[in-house]
Copies of this chain bind each other. A is one copy, B any other.
Amino acid sequence: MPARVYLDWNATTPLRPEARAAMAAAWDLAGNPSSVHAEGRQARRLLEDARAALAAAVGAASRNVAFTSSGTEANVLALAPGLRSGARGPVQRLLVSAVEHASVLAGGRFKPEAVRRIAVTTSGVIDLEDLRRQLASGPPALVSIMAANNETGALQPVREAGEIARESGGLLHVDAIQALGKITLNINEIGADLASLSAHKIGGPKGVGALVVAEGLSGLEPLLRGGGQELGRRAGTENVAGIAGFGAAVTAAMAAGNTEARRMEGLRDQLERGLRRSGGLTLFSEQVARLPNTTLFTAPGLKAETAVIGFDLEGIAVSSGSACSSGKVQPSHVLQAMGFDDKIAQGAVRLSLGWSTSEADIDCCLEAWRKLASALLRD
């Protein structure tokens, strides 16, 4: 197979070498972290080291980090009636932005009739007035807003949403899965009561996530009951190697921090300058602050399904909106929520970059686009 260029980092990232090393080391530990013997204690130590690394990355206390098997599981665990913190709550309904991930839109453990959507602007940013309006009457709500959108990269006003939620006696959940490692993220600065994280978006393994809660949160009912793991928040033998890989990945991501982000942003800008040379290009959410690595675009006549296949045949892995689904290309619910019609919502291609993306990758991608554009944009 000829050399491939991977530009689908928002779907999942290649493993960081640090994560591989941590997981390979974990493989040599036979023990179950719940066992009291030396082998068990060693396995437990790996878990607790990873927990501390993750907690430090987002400003939480270790005891408030619960590992899960995915960002989706963290979201479903977080979105539950009955949560409270101090005088706020118990929450009885859920407000989610219309551009959230499918697992948040599904409402977690709230009944469908208790879930409402908050509008977004044409730039894909949550409409805080609509949030305020919906919070003005009714029982305390849990508000779930992502820190950054996975398709457009648009950053969301999570801190402001949190203030508005708090004033009404509600709580804030932040899906920080796409933001972690790309922008600064501190749950106390944001004012998040709960935050979901995922390993495989930052160079850790697929199949590991975490729910972080702020000090004072209570009423979190486990989704998986049985053994007493994760301080009773989640039963089941822990994915020790995966969690160790998550810890190593977050440590590496934090160390790389801003430098990595600025480098990605430079490449992203270079990519967008190149794409713009095609006539009539639309760059979604370009008017607002975005993740440094994400470009969602379309052009007149572009069909995402054909474009993704075209890029793939040219050796470039790209995506049409969210990949966290069944592999079918459907109109992007994000673009629909932003007010674009189905034709445009089916025509958007996402290019997302990562720490190993090179200038040569960008050049390859632009060359492929020049080749494809003439064919794809014909009608």
Interface size on A, residues (CB 8 A): 79
Instruction: Please judge, given known A-B contacts A39-B317, A207-B238, A242-B242, whether A324 and B30 are in contact too, CB under 8 Å.
Output: no
B32→A323 contact, CB < 8 A? yes
A329 contacts across to B, CB distance below 8 A? 36
Q: Chain A interface mostly helix, strand, loop or mixed?
A: loop
A206 at the interface (CB under 8 A from B): yes
Q: Mark interface residues in A159-193 (1 if CB within 8 Å of B CB, else 0).
A: 00000000000000000000000000000000000
Which residues 97-111 in A have Cβ within 8 Å of B in the complex?
A: 101-108
A235→B103 contact, CB < 8 A? yes
Please report the C-alpha to C-alpha distance between residue A305 and residue B104 in the assembled complex, in whole angstroms: 44
A138 at the interface (CB under 8 A from B): no
CB distance from A223 to the nearest CB of B (A): 7
A278 at the interface (CB under 8 A from B): no
A241 contacts across to B, CB distance below 8 A? 205-207
Of B11, B105, B223, the contact of A223 (CB 8 Å cutoff): B223
Copies of this protein in the complex: 2
Please report the C-alpha to C-alpha distance between residue A13 and residue B106 in the assembled complex, in whole angstroms: 37
Which residues 318-335 in A have Cβ within 8 Å of B in the complex?
A: 318-319, 322-329
Instruction: Please judge, given known A-B contacts A207-B240, A207-B242, whether A226 and B327 are in contact too, CB under 8 Å.
Output: no
A37 contacts across to B, CB distance below 8 A? 8, 308, 311-312, 317-319
Please report the C-alpha to C-alpha distance between residue A28 and residue B242 in the assembled complex, in whole angstroms: 15
B317→A225 contact, CB < 8 A? no
CB distance from A263 to the nearest CB of B (A): 19
A59 at the interface (CB under 8 A from B): no
Query: Which A residues fall within an 8 A CB radius of B?
Result: 1, 4, 6, 8, 11-15, 20, 23-24, 27, 30-32, 34-40, 44, 68-73, 75-76, 101-108, 198, 200, 205-209, 223-229, 232, 235-243, 308-309, 311-312, 317-319, 322-329
